[in-house]
Structure 1
Amino acid sequence: MKNTYNYCIAALALLSVSACKSKSGKQAAAMPPTPVNVIEAKKADALYYDKYQGTVVALNNVELRSQVSGFITGIFFKEGTVVTKGTPLYEIDKRKYEAAYQQAQANLISAKANLSKAQKDIDRYDMLLKNDAVARQTVDQAAAAYETAKSQVAVAKAGVESAGTDLSYATIRAPFTGRIGISQVKLGAQVSPGTTLLNTISSGNPIGIDVVVNEQDINRFYKLQKAYTDTTFKLQLADGNIYNKTGKIFAIDRGVTDQSGSIKVRVEFANPNDELKDGMSGVLQVLNDNSGNRVQIPYKAITEQMGEFFVFISKDTVAEQRKVVLGPRIQANVVIMDGVQQGDKVITEGFQRLRDGGKITLGPPAGAAAQGKDGAKAGAQAK
């Protein structure tokens, strides 16, 4: 009886296993390939930039200070305007400097007269000495007087130059063509040499932008200094617009800062319309070395897993998952640095439920088809 019972249990178990296998086989056979849309990976020009925060600076910036003391008797410019090199800007009371200059000139005239007399004396004594009509000591004294007169003329000339310099300092002129700021002194103000700030003048065209880069990028910027193109440097203004002129490297600082391990780079931009002002902020865009003819695919084809990026490639009826290295985004596309070759068929829709090696068929995914039907139905109802 027990044996008959055991045989019945075994038969039922075999029937159950067979039924399960048959059912799972039917389900596996019923799983259709996943419909997907694909696009061919193509190469295209990809220009993309690294960004550095920077500050606009004048290439030449000078504080105007007086080199002589006195009272301001003239201001000859309009504040905030461009002044040309050599233009008179300020005048300091020059009466005492004119008097000193005239006195120095008079001293020079007197010294020259004494020199002329000494020259005549020595010529006369030399003639008498040839005839033994004068003592040798007298001739030597005349020669010494002549040398003294020569030195007095030299001193008088130096005095004229010094007085003339002081007189010229009484009129302060623009050292170069640039924009002058708001005056720090008014008419009648007393100024002291070297201490009183009168104004500041800055060059405006060309103008520079200073950025700080890591020491790892130094060699890159030295290469860009030797060879650059019109697309190497661009400037993004504070309002987000791109400045309509391109730049070139003006200077790279002499050394790396110990504390931060960085170095300052100054890039020069033409500024004919005075759009860039000293002190403005901006973003310097530097052409990336990897720019060029690169493989690009739609960004929507990318999936991310644990910080890594993947795409699915169509291999006939099978989906192959590949790890990719992304470059920058360019509008709706993304540059692929590694992982996809030109001509590969990249799955752009329908990959959400795919796994590596999954079966696929070309056609609109179910969601896209449903959206298309709904859109057509809505259009028919609208008509």
Structure 2
Amino acid sequence: MKNLNYLFTKFGYFIIALSIIMCVSCREEEVVDKGLPLPVMSVKETKAAKNFEYIGSIEGVESVEIRPQVDGILEHIYVDEGEFVTKDQVLFKINSQPYMEDYKNAMANVNLEKAKLEKAQTDVDRLQPLIDNEVISEVRMKSVKADYQVALSSLQQAQAQAANMRINLDFTTIKAPVNGFMGRIPKSIGNVVKKTDSEPLTNLSNVNDIYVYFSMSESDYLYFERAKNDTLSKRNKVNDEVKLVLADGSVYEHNGKIDANSGQIDRSTGSITLRAKFSNPDTLLRSGNTGKVLVEEIYPNAILVPQGATTFIQDKKFVFVLDENNLAQRREIITRGRSGDNYIVDTKSLSPDDRIVISGLDKLASGIKINPIQRGQLTSNL
């Protein structure tokens, strides 16, 4: 009896194993018949953008060096580094006592010259009746009038000197010429400041709008200029607006426009410097920041292929294209750049409605039959 049970148990295991083998065999035959199931997409023409990146330096639209116009001891600092100040706000005070004394001395000299002029005028007025009555000769009158002209010139010279002393006195109070943010202040109260100092007292930047200066190669410049001015052909266009990528990798929320260039090619580098203007209403950007300027080339009819749908052999890129029998064929593609996570593919490489395998490429070789799992088509990321 035990032997009979043993035989039944063995037979049961054999039946189960045989069923599994038959099931796997059926599935393999089904795969061979229908093909390897892999996701497939149909490529279409769509609008896309290719970015050209250029390192840029950021400056305020108004960036002013604050320098002393007179020599002296720095007596007061009324503002702090990084503080926002308005036009004509007092920033620094230089000891004004020496310049006040010079001004007082100049005004005393003006008063002295005024007195001399009044005396000369009195002499002219006193002698005029005597000339009229021919009591004295006109030669005496000419001498007196000459003394008057000398006194008048001396007064004008004294007034000019006093005005100059007044200007120097006013220069001891340093005010903001524009609205903006204070830069670093290297001097401290009590330091001597001079007009000839190599370093300014501070820098003042108006950053309501900012300029980003960047350089591009001569070939890029010519390419973009032709694309910008060519309104007749169907060539790719260049976006009028540019974007700015900040140091943290984020894209600045406001777009800018290129509004100026240096006007000449730097012979040593073969590049030209351009300037883009951006609005900065939140004053997020400051002078001295850096970033990347993105210039977009617009492709009105681009074919996009996901980077993950490509393979590399040496320096060439390939995709697997399905023919009418769903057989995968490896095809070399020529790319024109990237748009987001996709390659922009030359239309000579792929045509609209071509079907490509988008994953599982490690299982593929030319001639393998595919059971396509359609994933739709790729659309622009613009």
Q: Normalising by structure 1, report the TM-score.
A: 0.73
1:137 aligned partner: 139
Question: What's the CA shift string for 1:316-350, capped at 9, x where partnerless?
Answer: 44877765431333455432233156633233269
1:205 aligned partner: 208
- Establish whether residue 90 from structure 1 lines up as the match of residue 92 from structure 2: yes
Structure 1 residue ranges without an equivalent (≥5):
1-30, 369-383
Q: From the CA coordinates, give the structure whose radius of gyration is larger.
A: 1
- Establish whether residue 354 from structure 1 lines up as the match of residue 366 from structure 2: yes
1:220-299 alignment, distance < 5 Å: 232-288=241-297, 290-299=298-307
User: 1:246 offset after TM fit, Å?
Assistant: 1.2
Q: Which amino acid aligns with 2:366?
A: L
1:148 aligned partner: 150
Q: Secondary structure at the match of 1:291?
A: strand
Cα-Cα RMSD: 3.6
User: 1:310 offset after TM fit, Å?
Assistant: 4.7
- Establish whether residue 170 from structure 1 lines up as the match of residue 172 from structure 2: yes
- Of residues 53-62 and 66-75 in structure 1, the stretch that sits farther from structure 2 once superposed is 53-62
Q: Which amino acid aligns with 1:206?
A: D
- For residues 118 and 215 of structure 1, the distance between their equivalents in structure 2, rounded to whole angstroms, comes to 73
User: 1:120 offset after TM fit, Å?
Assistant: 4.5
- For residues 323 and 112 of structure 1, the distance between their equivalents in structure 2, rounded to whole angstroms, comes to 96
User: 1:82 offset after TM fit, Å?
Assistant: 1.0
Q: Which amino acid aligns with 1:66?
A: P
- Of residues 106-115 and 49-58 in structure 1, the stretch that sits farther from structure 2 once superposed is 106-115
- For residues 83 and 118 of structure 1, the distance between their equivalents in structure 2, rounded to whole angstroms, comes to 52
- For residues 120 and 166 of structure 2, the distance between their equivalents in structure 1, rounded to whole angstroms, comes to 28
User: 1:231 offset after TM fit, Å?
Assistant: 6.6
User: 1:57 offset after TM fit, Å?
Assistant: 2.8
Question: What's the CA shift string for 1:118-140, capped at 9, x where partnerless?
Answer: 34543554554343232121121
User: 1:145 offset after TM fit, Å?
Assistant: 1.3
Identity of aligned residues (%): 29
1:190 aligned partner: 192
Distance 1:307 1:258, change over 3 A: same
Q: Secondary structure at the match of 1:62?
A: strand
- Establish whether residue 103 from structure 1 lines up as the match of residue 105 from structure 2: yes
The 8 Å contact of residues 241 and 258 in structure 2, kept in 1 or not, is answered as no
1:372 aligned partner: none
The 8 Å contact of residues 234 and 247 in structure 1, kept in 2 or not, is answered as yes
The 8 Å contact of residues 240 and 257 in structure 2, kept in 1 or not, is answered as no
The 8 Å contact of residues 225 and 249 in structure 1, kept in 2 or not, is answered as no
2:220 aligned partner: 217
The 8 Å contact of residues 115 and 146 in structure 1, kept in 2 or not, is answered as yes
2:315 aligned partner: 307
1:374 aligned partner: none
The 8 Å contact of residues 86 and 174 in structure 1, kept in 2 or not, is answered as yes
Distance 1:76 1:226, change over 3 A: farther
The 8 Å contact of residues 326 and 338 in structure 1, kept in 2 or not, is answered as no
1:10 aligned partner: none
1:359-374 alignment, distance < 5 Å: 363-364=371-372
Q: Which amino acid aligns with 1:260?
A: T
Q: Which amino acid aligns with 2:203?
A: T
- Of residues 51-60 and 121-130 in structure 1, the stretch that sits farther from structure 2 once superposed is 121-130
- For residues 320 and 267 of structure 1, the distance between their equivalents in structure 2, rounded to whole angstroms, comes to 47
Q: Which amino acid aligns with 1:63?
A: E
- For residues 254 and 143 of structure 2, the distance between their equivalents in structure 1, rounded to whole angstroms, comes to 76
The 8 Å contact of residues 333 and 350 in structure 2, kept in 1 or not, is answered as no
**What is the aligned length?**
331
2:9 aligned partner: none
Q: Normalising by structure 2, report the TM-score.
A: 0.73
Q: Which amino acid aligns with 2:265?
A: V
Distance 1:262 1:67, change over 3 A: same
Distance 1:124 1:225, change over 3 A: farther
2:347 aligned partner: 338
- For residues 89 and 70 of structure 1, the distance between their equivalents in structure 2, rounded to whole angstroms, comes to 15
1:62 to 42, 61, 64: 64
Distance 1:187 1:304, change over 3 A: closer
Distance 1:335 1:193, change over 3 A: closer
User: 1:66 offset after TM fit, Å?
Assistant: 2.0
User: 1:304 offset after TM fit, Å?
Assistant: 4.5
- For residues 74 and 229 of structure 2, the distance between their equivalents in structure 1, rounded to whole angstroms, comes to 49
User: 1:224 offset after TM fit, Å?
Assistant: 9.2
2:77 aligned partner: 75
Q: Secondary structure at the match of 2:372?
A: coil
The 8 Å contact of residues 328 and 369 in structure 2, kept in 1 or not, is answered as no
User: 1:105 offset after TM fit, Å?
Assistant: 2.5
The 8 Å contact of residues 231 and 246 in structure 1, kept in 2 or not, is answered as no
Question: What's the CA shift string for 1:16-58, capped at 9, x where partnerless?
Answer: xxxxxxxxxxxxxxx9897787543212221231111223233
- For residues 249 and 331 of structure 2, the distance between their equivalents in structure 1, rounded to whole angstroms, comes to 37
Q: Which amino acid aligns with 1:149?
A: A
